[in-house]
Amino acid sequence: MCALIEFKNIIKSYTMGDITIHASDGVNFEVNKGEFVVIVGASGAGKTTILNLLGGMDSPTSGTILVDGQNIALYDEKQLTEYRRDDIGFVFQFYNLIQNLTALENVELASQISKNPLDARHVLERVGLSERMANFPAQMSGGEQQRVAIARAIAKNPKLLLCDEPTGALDYQTGKSILGLLREMCETYQMTVIVITHNSALAPMADRVIHLRNGKVYGVELNENPKPIEEIEW
Amino acid sequence: MVKQKKSMYWRNLWKSIFASKARFLSIFSIVFLGAAFFAGLRNTPGTMTKTMDAYLDKHNYSDLTYIASLGFSQDDIAAIKDIEGIDKIEYGYQFDALKKTHDQLEGVKVYTSQTFDTKMINHPDLIEGRFPKQSDECVIDNELAKSGTKIGQKIDISNKQGEKSFTVVGIINDVRYIAKTNRGTNSLGDGTNSGFIEILNTDNAFLAMPDELYDLRDEGVLYNQISITVKGAKKENVFTQAYDDFIETLNTKVKSTLSLRMSNLYEKLTRDAQKKLDDAKKEYDKGYKTYTESKNTFDSKILEAKIQLINAKITLADKEMEYIKAQSMASSQAQDMLDTMKKTSDELKKNLEDLKKQLEGYQENPPEKIPHEVIDEVNKTIKEIQDVQTSLKTATSSIDGMFQLNEASIQIQKAKLQIQQNENKLALEELKTNQQLTQAKDKLDKAHSQISEAQDKVNEIPKGKLYTLTNHQNAGLVNYESNKDSISSIADIFPLMFFLVSALVSLTTMTRMVEEQRSQSGTLRALGYSKWDVIKQYIVYVIFATFFACALGIVLGTQFFPRIIYYLYNLMLFQVDAKTLIYSSQAVAFQTFFISVFVTMAATLFVCMSELNLMPAVLMRPKAPKLGKRIVLERITFIWKRLSFNQKVTMRNIFRYKKRFFMSIIGIAGCTALIITGFGVKHSVSAVVDKQYHDVLKYDALVRLDDSISTSEAKKYQKNLLQRDAVNNVEYVLNQSIDILKNKEDLYGTLVVYQSMENISNFVNFKDYKTGKKLVLDDDGVILSAKTAELLDVEVNDTMDIELSGTKYNVKISGIMENYFMNYVYMSQNLYESVTAQDLKVNNAFLTMKKMDQSYKTSLEKYMKEKNYGNLSYINNIGEEFDNQVQSVDLVIIILIVCAGALNFIVLYNLTNINIQERKSEIATIKVLGFRRKEVYDYIFRENVILSIIGSLLGTVFGYLLHRFIIRTVELDVTMFVRSLNFTSYIFAIIITLGFTLFIDFVMRRVLNRVNMVESLKSIE
């Protein structure tokens, strides 16, 4: 199976005054299609930088990022927008739903712009919100809002589902069910899912775990038999 | 601890100001603009008066000027010189003259002064050259210099009194003529002045007053102008009532002294003349009496002579009878003859009786001075007659003797001859004397007519007129003041509305800021800061944003707006180079602070209070959008269905928050309304000329006759004029100034009386001011101009009082017509004649021309001159003059439009900016979702465009109302501006609003592009 994503010698440096900080200091890893990946690291390990680069929100200082054979590191802003539009589904820590739109409309907002979208209602049913489609975000709980956010990401039918601390704002049980949902979506839609978290306890549920420390990949684990989320405690 | 707490608190405040630089700056600039505009415009009238007052003070403007038609003698001046309150008094001359340069004659006003120095009253501004040092040097009006007269040139000044040549040594501006136009009227030439000229008193007095005046007054030195500056008057502003009152006190004193002297002088002059006249009359009376007496004596003497003559004839007849009797003895036939003679004798006797009676009548007035020769001659005749009688008597005695018959016959014949001779002599005498008497009578009659002429002259001795000139008689100052008043009235409403809009927008911005930062406020509250601490933070923010903006606005606005407006006015209408002195009123400053600072602060406080009454925990969570409510539009399914998804999103965003929606809409609508009003007022003012002189008054030219003529004579003129090629229609009318009586102040108006109704629509358009229907000028009542009706507060069928040549008449109003300029009362001939009980006499003619080209005009003018048909003036020119006045209002309005545009821009910018700031996280999210640039722009800006459209549409309604309100306050008594708003004003305003919106959207793209997607990863604040 060939790699969907390849990070090769990625360096991202920020210059602050006289000091140059390497947020990513030569990152290398691969992710295969359909894998559930957890990128784990403490604060300051360079998670957000990886997320920004992978999400098409930023470009590296040097190195190659191959996504489905395309080097997105060389993309200009326009190409990056198209990349985000078509290839990436994003799940935010704080859901980032549009407050003025109902659950369904929030999903439609994303699916409308996608080349090859999934049916919004269908996806919402899939995430278990068939009853709450007409509700506004403020009328839903955090877990429900995150489900809408996941549905919004999936409805675009992206190559890659990027999740930034998806359980960060949720309580333990809700967090678990959201992770379960993500895993389920990964399998249902054969979608590559990358979860970025500081919580290393989640590692066992992933097909592939990438450890980050000081802007470098510290180690990659492959789980032949990932544990279901229900069995993981933290 | 406390200190630390405070420092962190303040740091947060600074941070919130700097973090939202755009918001802070937009509140700041909106308040600044509003305050500057408000304070600036409101301080403009004050600045204008202050500036002009200082200029007048600097140049010792004469508070009071007196002009006397009989001149002022040294004694006159001495009598008032020491009146308490006079600061300085100067005397000299002013007179009309014609200035001749290169064979071109122009009317000028000439002023003379004792000397030229900076202390003199009405000290002129020397633009170039120097002041006169010799009596044949002069300085000239800058306007004359502009039309080509140069320094060093010689100009001839002439009038009825004489002629003199002057050398131009300088060019000046004079405080008495602050306006560029209007140099007043002249009694010579074409009646207008092109400028003024100033010379020295010395050796130039002869030009001012005729020699007869010196003779009449028996004075060697006379002046005709006294200028006075009043002690302490400089402290008062010339344009205030206080100044008028101040001046009036002294004016009353001086005027009464001068008037008394004037009437004493008149009395003295008339007394002397009358005495001389009375003497002459006495002489005449004496002569007349002598004449009558002589005539009587003569007449009675002649009568006496005639009686004697008849007596003689009687005696002769008797003698003849006797003779015939005697003869009859010889001849019987003689009897018949005797009878005839008897009859003659009887008749003569009867005649004698009559004459005697007459003589008795004369003798009752015994003759005194009889012309001697005449009397002698008559007496001689009488004596001769008596001689004849005597000889006849002798004859009688001899008749007795038959023998002497023949001799008697001879004697009788002789006597007959003598009587005849004497009769002839008498007749000759009578004729001669009568001739002499008639001559005497003629002389007397002539003397009589000379005497009555002299009496007329005595009656004509001029009473002597005293004219007082104050600032209210100075055309330039009056014009200046009316310009100031029109700015005042514009400054009343417009800046207030402007300011209210800006206050509203800054208030909206603050409200939204408080709401946006509720979680931060919640955090502070949760940390243990008191509610007041949190509120204080916003109050301080408001103070920073509004107080300083307001203060800066007042300072800069008060410096800028009055300056620019004054500058523009000066450029167009006035020529004086007065240094602008800014007037700034504390009341205006207070109003400005109140509206911007206090109102915004109160509103912010209110919002804070209602927000912060919630528990901190609630505050920390984002405000919940209204639950499940759908906007109204969604219920209108046939529209909603048709909208694209993105459009639906936009609609949701717009209508979800009603308060935000309305505040934005009202802010935009307000700005649009201000622009509409600006353009509207501009149109309303400038359209007046066109409407008045094309739509209402339809004639092309006006003919003024020197004297009124009867209607029948007018028919003749009309017929002749109609035969001219150029003329299409002619109508002779009475066009007379009248007073229209009103409760307090009378209005000055024009009465136009039409003779015929046939062609009336060619000359004037009687259109009802409300319905636009045609009105008919009937014999029942008058048609009145709309503005006049409004000022009098009268309706159709009411009555009104007019005063015509001093007589008051009450007339019914049968129609109120559309009219824009001046107060007009139209009447039919029949109504005029029945109301005034006089036959109509006309003094004006209205002409419509076939073509207005120059050759037609010239030939018609020539014809009118030849025929003495009066002076022709064209409506176009009259319109232009008014146009010039209107232009000044135009200037101010352009400033209004520019400012309204600027406000509109800042408001739109502010609203756009708030929208972006509030939704940064949302923008970041959709960017992450993969929205393309254009889609992001649309997502945010579509909302702005829709708000602008709704706002500007609503603004048309506001604008309509505001315009209607403002246009009435700007109007002057004699003008009714076009009150309707023209379509283009709406269009302009909408285009400007939408144009600004699109422009701002274009500029703000940059801001959207800069929104970092990483924002989306942060927690929602």
Name the token pair of B222.
Answer: 């006379």
Residues of A in contact with B648 (CB under 8 A): 105
**Minimum CA–CA partner of A56 in chain B:** B928
Q: Read off the pLDDT of each residue in B265-276 and give the average, rounded to a whole number.
A: 80
- Tell me the shortest Cα–Cα distance from A27 to chain B, in angstroms: 21
pLDDT per residue over B374-387, tens digit each?
667 667 767 776 77
Helix (H) / strand (E) element for B112: namely strand B104-113
Cβ distance of A99 and B653 shorter than 8 Å: no
Cα separations in angstroms, A118 against A131, A161, A195, B754, B898: 19, 14, 22, 88, 54
Inter-chain Cβ pairs, chain A and chain B, closer than 8 A: 93
Helix (H) / strand (E) element for A203: namely none
**Minimum CA–CA partner of B932 in chain A:** A81
Q: Indicate whether B864 pLDDT > 70.
A: yes
Per-chain mean pLDDT for chain A: 87
Of B622, B931, B1016, the CB nearest to A96: B1016
pLDDT per residue over B821-836, tens digit each?
888 999 999 999 998 8
Q: What pLDDT, on the 0 to 100 scale, is given for residue B2?
A: 45
Residues of A in contact with B649 (CB under 8 A): 98, 100-101, 105, 109
List the one residue out of B498, B620, B625 whose CA is nearest residue B553.
B498
Helices in B73-205 by DSSP H: which ranges?
Answer: 74-81, 142-146
Question: Running DSSP on this structure, what letter comes out for residue B1016?
Answer: G
Q: Read off the pLDDT of each residue in B60-80 and give the average, rounded to a whole number.
A: 87
Cβ distance of A135 and B649 shorter than 8 Å: no
Q: Indicate whether B333 pLDDT > 60.
A: no
Q: Where are the domains of chain A?
A: 3-76+91-228
Put simply, whether B618 touches A (Cβ < 8 Å) is no
Residues of B in contact with A96 (CB under 8 A): 921-922, 924-925, 928, 1016
Long-range contacts of B493-497 (CB under 8 A, 24+ apart): B493/B962, B493/B965, B493/B966, B493/B969, B494/B41, B494/B674, B494/B677, B494/B678, B494/B896, B494/B966, B495/B37, B495/B38, B495/B40, B495/B41, B495/B42, B496/B38, B497/B670, B497/B673, B497/B674, B497/B677, B497/B962
Q: Indicate whether B956 pLDDT > 90.
A: yes
Separation CA A55–CA B510 (nearest Å): 37
What pTM, to 2 d.p., does this model score? 0.70
Helix axes A172-188, A142-155, angle to 10 degrees: 20
Q: Read off the pLDDT of each residue in B680-687 and give the average, rounded to a whole number.
A: 84
- What is residue B200's three-state secondary structure? strand
Interface test with B, best of A95, A136, A162, A170 (most B CBs within 10 A): A136
Residues of A in contact with B928 (CB under 8 A): 55, 57, 84, 90, 92, 96
Residues of A in contact with B1013 (CB under 8 A): 52, 55, 57
Name the token pair of B312.
Answer: 């003689």
Per-chain mean pLDDT for chain B: 81
Cβ distance of B627 and A139 shorter than 8 Å: yes
Give residues 954 to 1013 of B whose Cβ lies within 8 Å of A.
1013
Q: Indicate whether A1 pLDDT > 60.
A: no
Residue-by-residue DSSP string for B26-51: HHHHHHHHHHHHHHHHHHHHHHHHHH
Of B622, B628, B1020, the CB nearest to A135: B628
Separation CA B873–CA B890 (nearest Å): 27
- The residue assigned the tokens 């001029």 is B462
Cβ distance of B1019 and A48 shorter than 8 Å: no
**Minimum CA–CA partner of A101 in chain B:** B649
Q: What pLDDT, on the 0 to 100 scale, is given for residue B3?
A: 47
Where residue B362 falls among pLDDT bands split at 50, 70, 90? Answer: low
Put simply, whether B823 touches A (Cβ < 8 Å) is no
**Minimum CA–CA partner of B622 in chain A:** A138
Cβ distance of A99 and B622 shorter than 8 Å: yes
Chain A contact residues (CB < 8 Å to B): 48, 51-52, 55, 57, 78, 81-86, 88, 90, 92-94, 96, 98-101, 105, 108-110, 112-114, 134-136, 138-139, 152, 156, 164, 169
Of B628, B656, B1019, the CB nearest to A94: B1019
Q: Indicate whether B370 pLDDT > 60.
A: no
Amino acid of residue A121:
R
Interface test with B, best of A14, A57, A91, A107 (most B CBs within 10 A): A57
Separation CA B45–CA B562 (nearest Å): 8
Interface test with A, best of B928, B936, B939 (most A CBs within 10 A): B928
pLDDT per residue over B583-610, tens digit each?
888 888 888 888 888 888 887 888 788 7
Put simply, whether B645 touches A (Cβ < 8 Å) is yes
Of B628, B927, B1018, the CB nearest to A139: B628
Give the ipTM.
Answer: 0.91
Residues of A in contact with B646 (CB under 8 A): 112
Residues of A in contact with B652 (CB under 8 A): 100-101
**Minimum CA–CA partner of B657 in chain A:** A100
Where residue B394 falls among pLDDT bands split at 50, 70, 90? Answer: low
pLDDT per residue over B137-147, tens digit each?
999 988 888 87
Q: What pLDDT, on the 0 to 100 scale, is given for residue A71?
A: 92
Helix (H) / strand (E) element for B515: namely helix B475-516
Are the C-beta atoms of B676 and B986 separated by less than 8 Å?
yes
Long-range contacts of A145-149 (CB under 8 A, 24+ apart): A145/A95, A145/A97, A146/A91, A146/A95, A146/A170, A146/A174, A146/A178, A147/A178, A147/A181, A148/A95, A148/A97, A148/A103, A148/A106, A148/A107, A148/A124, A149/A91, A149/A92, A149/A95, A149/A96, A149/A97, A149/A106
Between A16 and B404, the higher pLDDT residue = A16
| Least confident segment among B16-25, B697-706, B727-736 | B16-25
| Least confident segment among A9-13, B483-487, B551-555, B616-620 | B616-620
Interface test with A, best of B937, B1010, B1017, B1020 (most A CBs within 10 A): B1017
Separation CA B13–CA B582 (nearest Å): 37
**Minimum CA–CA partner of B919 in chain A:** A98
Where residue B368 falls among pLDDT bands split at 50, 70, 90? Answer: very low
Name the token pair of B773.
Answer: 């229907």
Interface test with B, best of A43, A72, A80, A96 (most B CBs within 10 A): A96
Residues of A in contact with B929 (CB under 8 A): 84-85, 90, 109-110, 113, 152, 156
- Parallel, antiparallel, or unpaired: how do β-strands A70-71 and A62-67 relate? antiparallel
Q: Read off the pLDDT of each residue in B702-731 and give the average, rounded to a whole number.
A: 82
Residues of A in contact with B1016 (CB under 8 A): 92, 96
pLDDT per residue over B487-496, tens digit each?
888 888 888 8
Cβ distance of B1014 and A92 shorter than 8 Å: no
Separation CA A106–CA A129 (nearest Å): 13
Put simply, whether B622 touches A (Cβ < 8 Å) is yes
- Tell me the shortest Cα–Cα distance from A81 to chain B, in angstroms: 5
Q: Read off the pLDDT of each residue in B815-823 and give the average, rounded to a whole number.
A: 89
Put simply, whether B935 touches A (Cβ < 8 Å) is yes
pLDDT per residue over A207-229, tens digit each?
999 999 888 888 888 888 888 88
Where residue B398 falls among pLDDT bands split at 50, 70, 90? Answer: very low
Architecture field, domain A3-76+91-228: 3-Layer(aba) Sandwich (3.40)
Question: Running DSSP on this structure, what letter comes out for residue B474?
Answer: -
Amino acid of residue B524:
L
Percent of chain B with pLDDT over 70: 88
Q: What pLDDT, on the 0 to 100 scale, is given for residue B951?
A: 92
Cα-to-chain-centroid distance, residue B801:
21
| Least confident segment among A87-101, A149-163, B171-185, B944-958 | B171-185
Name the token pair of B267.
Answer: 């009395």
Put simply, whether B921 touches A (Cβ < 8 Å) is yes
Q: Indicate whether B319 pLDDT > 70.
A: yes
Where residue B198 falls among pLDDT bands split at 50, 70, 90? Answer: very high
pLDDT per residue over A163-202, tens digit each?
988 887 788 888 888 888 888 888 888 889 999 988 888 8
List the one residue out of A35, A37, A38 whose CA is nearest residue A1.
A35
Are the C-beta atoms of B812 and B861 separated by less than 8 Å?
no
Where residue A99 falls among pLDDT bands split at 50, 70, 90? Answer: confident
Q: Indicate whether B694 pLDDT > 60.
A: yes
Residues of A in contact with B1014 (CB under 8 A): 48, 52, 57
- What is residue B708's three-state secondary structure? strand
| Least confident segment among B319-328, B672-681, B892-901 | B319-328
Put simply, whether B933 touches A (Cβ < 8 Å) is yes
Q: Indicate whether B839 pLDDT > 60.
A: yes
Q: Read off the pLDDT of each residue in B630-652 and give the average, rounded to a whole number.
A: 76
Name the token pair of B457.
Answer: 């002259």
Residues of B in contact with A86 (CB under 8 A): 930
Q: Indicate whether A123 pLDDT > 60.
A: yes
Residues of B in contact with A136 (CB under 8 A): 625, 627-628
Where residue B575 falls among pLDDT bands split at 50, 70, 90? Answer: low
Cβ distance of A100 and B653 shorter than 8 Å: yes
Separation CA B128–CA B347 (nearest Å): 106
**Minimum CA–CA partner of A94 in chain B:** B1019
Separation CA A186–CA B510 (nearest Å): 47
Where residue B458 falls among pLDDT bands split at 50, 70, 90? Answer: confident
Separation CA B931–CA B12 (nearest Å): 34
Q: Indicate whether B162 pLDDT > 80.
A: yes
